[in-house]
A and B are shown apart, each in its own frame.
Chain A
Amino acid sequence: MKTESFQSLRNVCGVLLIVIGTFTFGFMVALLSLSQDSEERRSDRNEFRSDTAQYTTTKASAPTLQLIENQTNKDSHFDRRHTLHNLFAKANSQELELYFSQSKNLVSLNFLRVVQDQLIQRWSVLDPQKALSLVIEEFTAERQIHLVQLVFKEWSRSNLSNAIKHAQQLDNNLIDVVVDSMVTSREDLSVEQRRDIARELKREWRAIEILRHENSEAVIKAPAQEWAAFVREQRDTLSSLDEAQLRMMGYIALSWVTLEGTTVMAHLREELPRTTSLLATTEFVARELMETQPDKALELVVFAASIDHDLGYQDLAIELIGSWAGNSLDQALDATLEIEAESLRWELQKKALEAAAEIDVFSLLSSLERLPEHLRDRAYALAIAEIAKKSPESAAEMLPNVSKLEERKLVTEAIVKRWALKDIDATIRWIETTSKLPIDRNKLKETAFQELVALDWRLAFETALSLPVNSKGAGWEGTVVQWLANRNSDLAESLLVRVRPGPGRVEAFDGIIFNALHDRDYHRALEVFLQLCELEEHSDQSIFLMPLTLTVPDLVLSSIDKIASRRAKVEVADWLIYEYANTDMFTPEEMKRIRQIASLGKE
Chain B
Amino acid sequence: MTVSNHKLSKPLLGVLVSVIALTAFVLGFVTQYFVSPFFQTTPSVSNEDQEISIGQIRDVEELSTQRVIPSLLDLEDPVQFRDHFDRTGTLLDLLVLADRDSLQEYFAESKNITAHHFRKEVQTSIIQRLSVIDPRTALSVVQEQFSGIEQQSFLTTIFAEWSVVNLQEAIAEATGLESEQKEIVIASMIRSRDDLTVEERRDIARQCNSDWVAINLLSDGSEESIFADPEQEWLTFIEDNRDHFSNLSGTQTQALGHILLAWIERDGLKMLDPALAILPPKVSLLETITFVTDQLMDSTPSLALHLSLEMVAKDDQNHGFRYLARSIAGRWAEFEPRRALEATVNVPGRALRGMLQRSVSHQWARLDPDALLGIVDSLPDEIQVLVRQYALIAIAASQPESVVSMLSDFSIRKDRDVVARAIAVNWAKTDVAKLFEWIDTDSNVSHIQDELYRTVFNQLARSNPVLGVQEALARPEANDGEGWESTVIIRLVILGEVDTAVKLLPQVRSGITRVMAYRKVIEHLIDEQYDTKLAVDLFLQLGQNEVTKVRYLASKLTKVAPQHLYEELDNIEPKRIRDFVAGALYSHNRHKGTFTAQELQVLEAIIQNEN
How many angstroms between the C-alpha atoms of A125 and B355 in the bound complex?
A: 57
A45 in contact with B52 (CB, 8 Å)? yes
B85 in contact with A154 (CB, 8 Å)? yes
Q: Which residues of B contact A67 (CB under 8 A)?
A: 50, 54
How many angstroms between the C-alpha atoms of A552 and B316 in the bound complex?
A: 32
Q: Which residues of A contact B52 (CB under 8 A)?
A: 45
Q: Which residues of A contact B496 (CB under 8 A)?
A: 311, 314, 343, 347
Check if A140 is an interface residue, CB within 8 A of chain B: no
The residue among B33, B44, B117 with the most chain A CB atoms within 10 A of its own CB is: B117
B495 in contact with A311 (CB, 8 Å)? yes
Residue ID in chain A nearest B127 by CB atoms: A78
B17 in contact with A87 (CB, 8 Å)? no
Assuming the contacts A26-B26, A34-B36, A48-B56, asked whether A78 and B132 have C-beta atoms less than 8 A apart, the reply is: yes
Residue ID in chain A nearest B323 by CB atoms: A487
DSSP majority for the A interface? helix
How many angstroms between the C-alpha atoms of A559 and B58 in the bound complex?
A: 92
A29 in contact with B36 (CB, 8 Å)? no
Residue ID in chain A nearest B163 by CB atoms: A77
Q: Which residues of A contact B194 (CB under 8 A)?
A: 108-110
A63 in contact with B53 (CB, 8 Å)? yes
B129 in contact with A343 (CB, 8 Å)? no
B60 in contact with A55 (CB, 8 Å)? yes
Q: How far is the CB of A104 from chain B (nearest CB, A)?
A: 17
Check if B179 is an interface residue, CB within 8 A of chain A: no
Assuming the contacts A521-B350, A522-B412, asked whether A77 and B529 have C-beta atoms less than 8 A apart, the reply is: no
Assuming the contacts A22-B21, A554-B413, asked whether A125 and B83 have C-beta atoms less than 8 A apart, the reply is: yes
* A327-347 contact mask (Cβ, 8 Å, vs B): 1 or 0: 000000000000001111111
Q: How far is the CB of B2 from chain A (nearest CB, A)?
A: 13
Check if B386 is an interface residue, CB within 8 A of chain A: yes
Q: How far is the CB of A93 from chain B (nearest CB, A)?
A: 14
How many angstroms between the C-alpha atoms of A162 and B416 in the bound complex?
A: 59
Check if B436 is an interface residue, CB within 8 A of chain A: no
Assuming the contacts A62-B53, A63-B54, A78-B132, asked whether A27 and B499 have C-beta atoms less than 8 A apart, the reply is: no
A15 in contact with B412 (CB, 8 Å)? no
How many angstroms between the C-alpha atoms of A73 and B164 in the bound complex?
A: 10
Identify which of residues 494-520 in chain B touch chain A, using a CB-to-CB cut-off of 8 Å: 495-500
How many angstroms between the C-alpha atoms of A225 and B529 in the bound complex?
A: 46
How many angstroms between the C-alpha atoms of A25 and B24 in the bound complex?
A: 9
Assuming the contacts A82-B61, A520-B415, A554-B413, asked whether A77 and B20 have C-beta atoms less than 8 A apart, the reply is: no
- Which one of B88-96, B267-275, B338-346, B541-549 is at the A interface? B88-96
How many angstroms between the C-alpha atoms of A237 and B22 in the bound complex?
A: 96
Check if B238 is an interface residue, CB within 8 A of chain A: no
From the candidates B44, B60, B83, B447, name the one contacting A157 in the complex (CB within 8 A): B83
Check if A470 is an interface residue, CB within 8 A of chain B: no
B117 in contact with A19 (CB, 8 Å)? no
From the candidates B60, B132, B316, B528, name the one contacting A86 in the complex (CB within 8 A): B60
Q: Which residues of A contact B231 (CB under 8 A)?
A: none
B351 in contact with A77 (CB, 8 Å)? no
Assuming the contacts A311-B497, A583-B447, asked whether A520 and B89 have C-beta atoms less than 8 A apart, the reply is: no
Check if B147 is an interface residue, CB within 8 A of chain A: no
Residue ID in chain B nearest A185 by CB atoms: B84
B132 in contact with A79 (CB, 8 Å)? yes
Check if A240 is an interface residue, CB within 8 A of chain B: no
Check if A184 is an interface residue, CB within 8 A of chain B: yes
A187 in contact with B351 (CB, 8 Å)? no
* A41-72 contact mask (Cβ, 8 Å, vs B): 1 or 0: 01001001100100100001111000110011
B92 in contact with A85 (CB, 8 Å)? yes
Q: How far is the CB of B85 from chain A (nearest CB, A)?
A: 5
From the candidates A216, A341, A406, A493, name the one contacting B116 in the complex (CB within 8 A): A216
Q: How far is the CB of A575 from chain B (nearest CB, A)?
A: 15
Q: How far is the CB of A270 from chain B (nearest CB, A)?
A: 18
How many angstroms between the C-alpha atoms of A185 and B78 in the bound complex?
A: 11
Q: How far is the CB of B543 from chain A (nearest CB, A)?
A: 24
Q: Which residues of B contact A25 (CB under 8 A)?
A: 25, 28
Q: How far is the CB of A297 from chain B (nearest CB, A)?
A: 20
* B256-276 contact mask (Cβ, 8 Å, vs A): 1 or 0: 000000000000000000000
How many angstroms between the C-alpha atoms of A158 and B221 in the bound complex?
A: 36
Identify which of residues 422-461 in chain B touch chain A, using a CB-to-CB cut-off of 8 Å: 447
How many angstroms between the C-alpha atoms of A555 and B191 in the bound complex?
A: 65
Q: Which residues of A contact B132 (CB under 8 A)?
A: 76, 78-79
How many angstroms between the C-alpha atoms of A490 and B351 in the bound complex?
A: 6
Check if B465 is an interface residue, CB within 8 A of chain A: yes
Assuming the contacts A22-B22, A184-B117, A456-B317, asked whether A121 and B44 have C-beta atoms less than 8 A apart, the reply is: no
A61 in contact with B465 (CB, 8 Å)? no
Q: Which residues of B contact A42 (CB under 8 A)?
A: 49
Check if A369 is an interface residue, CB within 8 A of chain B: no
Assuming the contacts A30-B33, A86-B64, A311-B495, asked whether A522 and B414 have C-beta atoms less than 8 A apart, the reply is: yes
How many angstroms between the C-alpha atoms of A157 and B27 in the bound complex?
A: 64
From the candidates B54, B117, B165, B530, name the one contacting A343 in the complex (CB within 8 A): B530
Assuming the contacts A23-B24, A86-B61, A347-B496, asked whether A342 and B89 have C-beta atoms less than 8 A apart, the reply is: no
Q: Which residues of B contact A311 (CB under 8 A)?
A: 462, 495-497
Q: Which residues of B contact A427 (CB under 8 A)?
A: none
B530 in contact with A342 (CB, 8 Å)? yes
From the candidates A85, A154, A493, name the one contacting B89 in the complex (CB within 8 A): A85
Assuming the contacts A27-B31, A458-B317, A488-B316, asked whether A52 and B64 have C-beta atoms less than 8 A apart, the reply is: yes
Q: Which residues of B contact A497 (CB under 8 A)?
A: none
Identify which of residues 108-145 in chain A touch chain B, using a CB-to-CB cut-off of 8 Å: 108-110, 118, 121-122, 124-125
A77 in contact with B89 (CB, 8 Å)? no
Q: Which residues of A contact B534 (CB under 8 A)?
A: 342
Check if A218 is an interface residue, CB within 8 A of chain B: no
B25 in contact with A45 (CB, 8 Å)? no
B21 in contact with A187 (CB, 8 Å)? no
A49 in contact with B358 (CB, 8 Å)? no
Assuming the contacts A22-B24, A26-B28, A187-B116, asked whether A346 and B528 have C-beta atoms less than 8 A apart, the reply is: yes
How many angstroms between the C-alpha atoms of A55 and B64 in the bound complex?
A: 12
A406 in contact with B529 (CB, 8 Å)? yes
The residue among A34, A73, A74 with the most chain B CB atoms within 10 A of its own CB is: A34
B351 in contact with A519 (CB, 8 Å)? yes
Check if B160 is an interface residue, CB within 8 A of chain A: yes
Residue ID in chain A nearest B531 by CB atoms: A342
Q: Which residues of B contact A79 (CB under 8 A)?
A: 96, 132
How many angstroms between the C-alpha atoms of A457 and B389 in the bound complex?
A: 34
Q: How far is the CB of A137 from chain B (nearest CB, A)?
A: 22
From the candidates A77, A187, A488, name the one contacting B322 in the complex (CB within 8 A): A488
Q: How far is the CB of A21 from chain B (nearest CB, A)?
A: 8
Check if A489 is an interface residue, CB within 8 A of chain B: yes
Check if B552 is an interface residue, CB within 8 A of chain A: no
How many angstroms between the C-alpha atoms of A109 and B193 in the bound complex?
A: 10
A89-B89, A118-B85 known; 8 other A-B pairs, CB under 8 Å?
A: A22-B21, A45-B52, A89-B85, A188-B78, A342-B499, A344-B499, A493-B351, A521-B350
Q: Can you give 21 contacting A-B residue pairs, CB < 8 Å?
A: A23-B24, A23-B25, A26-B28, A29-B28, A31-B36, A73-B195, A75-B164, A79-B96, A79-B132, A86-B64, A158-B83, A213-B116, A309-B464, A314-B497, A343-B496, A344-B499, A490-B348, A524-B351, A552-B412, A552-B413, A585-B413
Interface residues of B (CB under 8 A from A): 17, 20-22, 24-33, 36, 44-45, 49-54, 56-61, 63-64, 78, 82-86, 88-89, 92-93, 95-96, 115-118, 125, 128-129, 131-132, 160-161, 164-165, 191-192, 194-195, 221, 316-317, 319, 322, 348-352, 354-355, 358, 386, 389, 411-415, 418, 447, 462, 464-465, 495-500, 528-531, 534
List the 4 shortest-distance A-B pairs measured between CB atoms, nearest first: A26-B28, A346-B530, A30-B32, A489-B351
Interface residues of A (CB under 8 A from B): 15, 18-31, 34, 42, 45, 48-49, 52, 55, 60-63, 67-68, 71-79, 81-83, 85-87, 89, 108-110, 118, 121-122, 124-125, 153-154, 157-158, 184-185, 187-188, 213-216, 309, 311, 314, 341-347, 349, 406, 454, 456-458, 487-491, 493, 515-516, 519-522, 524, 551-555, 583, 585
